[in-house]
Structure formats: structure tokens, C-alpha cells
Amino acid sequence: MDDLAVRTEPAADADAAALRSAGLKVTRGRLAALRLLQRMPHSDAETIHRHAVTDEPTLSVQSMHNVLTDLTRAGLLRRIEPERSAALYERRVGDNHHHVVCRACGKVADVDCVVGHAPCLAPSDAGGFAIDTAEVVFWGLCADCR
Amino acid sequence: MDDLAVRTEPAADADAAALRSAGLKVTRGRLAALRLLQRMPHSDAETIHRHAVTDEPTLSVQSMHNVLTDLTRAGLLRRIEPERSAALYERRVGDNHHHVVCRACGKVADVDCVVGHAPCLAPSDAGGFAIDTAEVVFWGLCADCR
DNA sequence: ACGTTATTCGTAATCACTCAAAACACCCGA
DNA sequence: TCGGGTGTTTTGAGTGATTACGAATAACGT
């Protein structure tokens, strides 16, 4: 039984610990979201839910939205919103990496800091704004689509 | 009569010419959109429509969406979609400038290429992607909000 | 002016997400 | 072991922005 649990959910304990240390209760829906985003980053709420229901048939789409919002607020997930697409979620948080989106198929990939130094962040305050974050999205064609 | 026309719409002829050279018919709705975005860039469809109806009372919101979509496709407008906000439109096209959004009031301002050289565009192809555009959004607080 | 064609209107529908209220689950102390 | 209380999920309805579509209308070339 331990064998089974370990085999199917190797990172479940780590996920549970992460939830607890964020002050959130460990629930099946939250574990499912974390587990699925491990294997398929840059997924939207509907996709995550579709895969989650095979394990948790009672999980509603609204609950999944709820879970994702909570986990994002808790800093366990990062939410990105490419133009013309639904919000996507990923587990990589804390580093300021960027994303590249395929114009043709919509596929998203991570892009680490592309210029040698801090990524495109202007420390100067442009037009009186006190800038704290730079958000960069690259657009192009993925290997499959060109 | 000429006086009146010139006084109220100094750039109307230029706008009409731009529409024609883009292969689009010159209609009141399109002129209104272009005229309003001249004075208030970074506006969303609803705002543009609200101002447009004082001149063009019959213009529907749906037509405004239609107009903005057409003009964007024709390259006369640029559409930006900051997270958690409706799509905004502006007339500055052709140069790849960026934007800074106020976290508090949502105000948007233009930011010209912030680093000396080409703005944050990595010529290398990251992860097999052929990148053609870099889109940068800065977040911070505007002068009024801090 | 006339006919062709593009554009707009009005209604309906969609999509992604939010909100509110009720049902539920789990931990704590009595 | 039994209740409470807090936090989570469900259910269902509702919102805001945008798109679809067929019919009506307006621009443009001739």
C-alpha cells in the first residue's frame, strides 16, 4: 500500500507540505492541480480540470478556478495571460523567467533571462511611473509550426 | 463651411486617406474611432464607443468592436491586452514601443525602447522557436497613485 | 444615379471567469 | 464522542468582453 501510494504520487508529500506551509489545507483538488501542472505546465483552467476529473470526478470547473486562484495568491502558482488566450498556470514561481508563444499553435515555452543582465527591466521611472516588474512575452513560431 | 469642417476635423482627411490606402471604406464609425484614439490613446472599446456616440448616435458597441478589429487587422491600430483588463487600442503602430500600467488605477503610458539597443528582443531562437516580436509590459505605480 | 460590395445593426450566443449561498469536511476542545 | 467553527467545495446563476450571423444599410466606382 505504501508501494502503491509512492508509485502513483511520488511528489504528493512535497505538494502537501508546500500547501501546508502556505497555510492552505491539503485537499484532493489542490493536489490534483499541482500534480497535473507538474507534467503539463502552461495549461488553462479548463484543460487542468479535464485531466483532473479522471482522478477526482466530483471536481467542478468552478472549484478548479477557485483552486488555481487560491494557489496563485498563495504564491504556489504563476498565472500568465497571453493575448487572445485564456489564463495559463505554471508551477515555476520565484524566478522571473519569460515566455514564448507560438503564433500558429499557441504552444508556450519558458525562456530564461535572454539578455545577459536583468531582463529588460528599466530601473529608471518612465513617465513618472515607479516600475516594479517587467513582463515579457515573445511571439514567434515553434519548431513544429515552421 | 470649409472653415467649420477644418476647425472640427483637422485630421479627418488624413484619416480618410489612411483608411483608403488600407483598402477600407471611409465610414463615420471608423473616422470616429481614429479621431478619438488620437486624443485618448489606450482606450477600450466601451470607452471609445461611449465618446463616439455623442457624434455618431447610431453607432452600436458591436460595430465599434468590429471597427476596432478591422482597423487593427489593417495595421492602423495596435491592440494591447494588459492582464485582467479589457483590450486597449492605440494609433501608434509600426514602432515597437512598450507600455507601463499602473497597478492602482490602470492608467497606461507609452515607454520607448528602454535599453539603448533593440528592445529586449533576443535574436537567438529559444527552445526551437523563431521569435519575431517581443512584447513588454511594465507594472508599477503612476505619479498620481504613489 | 445605380448597382455592387463592404459595412453596420441588432440579436443572440460564447467564452472565461466571478459571485453567492448552501452543503460539506476536517480539526479542535469539551 | 459529540458539537462548533473555520475553511473548502459545490451548485447555479450572473457578468463582462467579445464574437457570430443574417438582414438592413451605406460607401464607392462607373
In chain B, list all ranges with CATH 1.10.10.10: 2-89
Residue-level length of chain A: 146
CA dist A91 and B142 (Å) reads 30
Three-class secondary structure assignment of chain B: CHHHHHHHCCCHHHHHHHHHHCCCCCCHHHHHHHHHHHHCCCEEHHHHHHHHCCCCCCCCHHHHHHHHHHHHHCCCCEEECCCCCCCEEECCCCCCCEEEEECCCCCEEEECCCCCCCCCCCCCCHHHCEEEEEEEEEEEECCCCC
Q: Which residue in the block uniquely carries the three cell numbers 508509485? A: A7
Strands of A108-111's sheet, edge to edge? A108-111, A98-102, A130-141, B130-141, B98-102, B108-111
Q: How far is the CA of A91 from the C1' of C11 (A)?
A: 42
Whole-number pLDDT of residue A94:
87
- CB of A9 under 7 A from strand C? no
**Helix B45-52 and helix B28-39, axial crossing angle in degrees, nearest 10:** 110
Element (H, E) at A43: strand A43-44
B119 interaction partners in chain A (CB closer than 8 Å): 120
The per-residue pLDDT for range A29-81, each reduced to its tens digit, is 999 999 999 999 999 999 999 999 999 999 999 999 999 999 999 999 999 99
Which of the following CATH numbers is that of domain B95-146: 3.40.30.10, 3.30.1490.190, 3.10.129.10, 3.30.2130.10? 3.30.1490.190
CA dist A127 and A33 (Å) reads 40
CA dist A98 and A32 (Å) reads 25
- Cell, residue A8: 502513483
- The whole-angstrom distance between residue B97's C-alpha and the CA centroid of its chain comes to 12
The per-residue pLDDT for range A83-114, each reduced to its tens digit, is 999 999 999 998 878 899 999 999 999 988 65
- What is the CATH number assigned to the segment(s) A2-90? 1.10.10.10
B144–chain A nearest CA distance, Å? 9
CA dist B60 and B65 (Å) reads 9
In chain B, list all ranges with CATH 3.30.1490.190: 95-146
Which residues fall within 8 angstroms of residue B65, CB to CB, at 6 or more apart? B45
**Residue (of A20, A57, A13) closest to A35 by Cα position:** A13
Whole-number pLDDT of residue A118:
46
The per-residue pLDDT for range B20-30, each reduced to its tens digit, is 999 999 999 99
Phi/psi-derived region of residue A145, left when phi > 0, alpha when psi is between -120 and 50, beta in every other case: alpha
CA dist A134 and A115 (Å) reads 13
Global pTM reads 0.88
The per-residue pLDDT for range B110-146, each reduced to its tens digit, is 988 655 444 455 555 678 898 888 888 999 999 999 8
Into which CATH architecture does domain B2-89 fall? Orthogonal Bundle (1.10)
A129 interaction partners in chain B (CB closer than 8 Å): 100, 102, 109, 138, 140-143
- Strand C bases near protein CB (under 7 Å) are 6-12, 15-20, 26
